[in-house]
Amino acid sequence: MKSIIGAQMTNAMKKSILYFILIIIVVISCKEATIAEKPFDTSVPVTLTTIDTSGIESYVDLNATATYLIKNTIKANATGYLNSVNVAVNDFVTNGKQLFSIKTREAKVLGNTINKIDPTLNFGGAIRVCSNTNGIVTMVNVQQGDYVQDGDALITINDAKSFAILLSLPYELKNYITAGQQLTVTLPDATRRTANVQKFSPTVDATSQTQNVVLKINGKQDIPENLIVKVRINKASNSKTITLPKSAVLSDETETNFWIMKMINANTAVKIPIKKGIQTEDKIEILSPVLTNKDQILLTGNYGVADTIKVKVIKN
């Protein structure tokens, strides 16, 4: 009797376990079916931009150097001893200012004796050496008491009127500037000055194929010599045009065909071929088609996509 009851209980337990396993399988299957039925989102996350009508300017910034084109060397006009030195480096001197005086050996030896005999002869007076230009003293080669010979270089003066900005212009850019044209010069401290194109060098450097261009600064000539500045050469400009950020414009591998991805509704963008004009580092001019301020253009998420795509705007 106990054996029959034990066998019945064992069969009942087996059936319960079997039912439990079946229930678990059904639940898992339903869950997997629910996951499988969930639709997959194929929308491309994108950001948008609109047109810019502030104009565009294509330019190139070139290095140039502040310099004095004329450096005057003042030479001794007699042989003798420097009786006085009236100038020092960095002094600004004017035309006609006495810089040195030279007393010849004869005057130094015989001057007092002859003057005692006849004071009206004024023998032994020092010979004056004067500046022949306005400018800044950059070098003094002698000091008081030195013996110099006629023709010795005493001092170097940068002619103030010869101050200029010397630009080494690549010859392929020559068509973009002309004599008399006004250019913008930017100093290292971000100060901006204007300069006029004065003249072109008649030769081109054989190695770099650049041509020296002399620019005359307008206004105060307070730029130190040898300072390296930036000169902006405008290549093209259009103040009334439509532009887009450079990343919004796409092209093929040969860069012969260009297009943008334009929104046609809230979640769809299509490929629109364009014709581009002036291009800078961050903007591209759109010549056609005509875009409006209401047009929304893909800025990111536009690379390597189909001609028509579903999108999800993550930043407007």
The predicted-structure confidence for 13-56, as pLDDT tens digits, reads as follows 655 666 666 666 665 665 554 444 455 567 899 999 999 998 88
Per-residue model confidence (pLDDT) at position 295: 94
User: Which is more confidently placed, 241 or 38?
Assistant: 241
Distance, in Å, from the CA atom of 260 to the CA atom of 244, rounded to the nearest integer, reads 10
User: Predicted confidence band at 127 (pLDDT cuts at 50, 70, 90)?
Assistant: confident
Distance, in Å, from the CA atom of 181 to the CA atom of 197, rounded to the nearest integer, reads 5
User: Predicted confidence band at 187 (pLDDT cuts at 50, 70, 90)?
Assistant: very high
User: Predicted confidence band at 65 (pLDDT cuts at 50, 70, 90)?
Assistant: very high
Q: Is the pLDDT of residue 81 over 70?
A: yes
Distance, in Å, from the CA atom of 118 to the CA atom of 242, rounded to the nearest integer, reads 91
Distance, in Å, from the CA atom of 197 to the CA atom of 179, rounded to the nearest integer, reads 5
For residue 260, which of 310, 303, 229 has the smallest C-alpha distance?
303
Distance, in Å, from the CA atom of 117 to the CA atom of 266, rounded to the nearest integer, reads 113
Q: For 106-122, what is the mean pLDDT?
A: 57
For residue 198, which of 184, 180, 171 has the smallest C-alpha distance?
180
Per-residue model confidence (pLDDT) at position 209: 94
- What is the SS3 string spanning 159-215? EHHHEEEEEEEEHHHHHHCCCCCEEEEECCCCCEEEEEEEEEEEEECCCCCEEEEEE
Question: Model's pTM, two decimal places?
Answer: 0.65
User: Predicted confidence band at 4 (pLDDT cuts at 50, 70, 90)?
Assistant: very low
3 state DSSP class of 100: strand
User: Predicted confidence band at 57 (pLDDT cuts at 50, 70, 90)?
Assistant: confident
- 313 phi and psi, to 5 degrees? -75, 120
User: Predicted confidence band at 246 (pLDDT cuts at 50, 70, 90)?
Assistant: very high
The predicted-structure confidence for 267-281, as pLDDT tens digits, reads as follows 999 999 999 999 888
Which of 73-77, 92-96, 121-125 is predicted with the least confidence, judged by mean pLDDT? Answer: 121-125
Distance, in Å, from the CA atom of 279 to the CA atom of 204, rounded to the nearest integer, reads 29
Q: Is the pLDDT of residue 2 over 50?
A: no
For residue 104, which of 148, 152, 153 has the smallest C-alpha distance?
148
Per-residue model confidence (pLDDT) at position 126: 80
DSSP 271: E
Quote the mean pLDDT of the chain: 85
User: Predicted confidence band at 120 (pLDDT cuts at 50, 70, 90)?
Assistant: low
Q: Is 120 exposed, middle or buried (0-12, 13-18, 19+ CB in 10 A)?
A: exposed
The predicted-structure confidence for 137-182, as pLDDT tens digits, reads as follows 999 999 998 999 999 999 999 999 999 999 999 999 999 999 999 9
